[in-house]
Amino acid sequence: MAPARVFAVIFLALLGWAALAVDADGITTSSSTSPPSTTVVWQRAHATYYGGADASGTMGGACGYGNLYAQGYGSRTAALSTVLFNDGASCGQCYKIACDRKLEPTWCKPGVTRPHFDMAQPAWEKIGIASRGIIPVIYQRVPCVRRGGVRFMINGHDYFNLVLVTNVAGAGSIKSMDVKSSDSADWMPMARNWGANWHSMAYLSGKMLSFRVIITDGQTLVFTNVVPAGWTFGMTFASNLQFKPSP
């Protein structure tokens, strides 16, 4: 009997991922969490680690999430090559990763032009031997499961509102976003500024705000009056709403 694979489940925090067509490197396996007739396609990549054994160096990055270690995500973060970053459109997506024992049996724990994962060291050590440094892996995208509601952090200044959206379940990544102030009946489209940050050029300072968010699996949520009147730049607001995990 083949050794069981050890998986690391991470969410994409620093760079990104874009859908790839299954090619010669694709691996089709049965899913232990799906009905017997369901198959799961894995793709091959490589992985290394960064940030130290306690994951305290996993902060910053091209999605703008800041210090993920302090937010409790430090042992479950990863990044992909900039080739697959997709200009930030993939920020927040989640993946299951296993060391590819067929290619590297010595350095895998039991359990080409390719994407590359930079993982937090604690997550990486669940699947690989730390002294190796880089290992071949197989991966698949999985639904994101979050605790609590979606959060919005507002930075910027008058006539430039930069909103960082975090803790997004389901697809994890955002397709589009709109904002509406309490003194208007109209939704105003926001534009992706960089990573998981979206901006509006309207004057919204101190006004009660609502957000309408569509994620990349098609789900839509309206966060009515999630930002109270009198807010100031630098504040974060947690909602009571969350997207459903994608099938």
Q: Using CA atoms, how far apart are residues 242 and 146, in angstroms rounded to an integer?
A: 8
- Helix spans in the chain (H): 121-124
pLDDT, residue 104, reads 79
Question: Does CATH place domain 43-142 in 1.20.1530.20?
Answer: no
Tell me if 87 sits within 8 A of 175, measured CB to CB: no
Residue spans in the chain of domains classed CATH 2.40.40.10 = 43-142
pLDDT, residue 103, reads 84
Across 105-235, the runs of DSSP E, i.e. the strands, are 116-120, 134-142, 151-157, 160-166, 174-181, 188-189, 191-194, 197-200, 209-215, 220-227
pTM for this one?
0.76
**Highest CATH level, class, for 150-239:** mainly beta
pLDDT, residue 35, reads 37
Residue 86 per-residue DSSP state? G
Q: Using CA atoms, how far apart are residues 119 and 234, in angstroms rounded to an integer?
A: 28
Tell me if 158 sits within 8 A of 203, measured CB to CB: yes
Tell me if 142 sits within 8 A of 96, measured CB to CB: yes
Residue spans in the chain of domains classed CATH 2.60.40.760 = 150-239
Instruction: Provide the token pair at 247.
Output: 């099938």
Among candidates 164, 220, 172, 155, which has minimal Cα distance to 194?
164
pLDDT digit string (tens) for the chain, length 247 residues: 444 455 555 555 433 332 222 222 334 333 333 333 345 688 888 888 766 676 666 555 668 776 655 455 444 444 444 445 677 888 888 888 888 888 878 888 776 445 677 777 777 788 888 788 788 888 888 899 999 999 999 999 999 999 999 999 999 999 999 999 999 999 999 999 988 999 999 999 999 999 999 999 999 999 999 999 999 999 999 999 999 986 5
Query: What is the residue type of 172?
Result: G
Three-state DSSP class for residue 123: helix
Q: Using CA atoms, how far apart are residues 14 and 118, in angstroms rounded to an integer?
A: 9
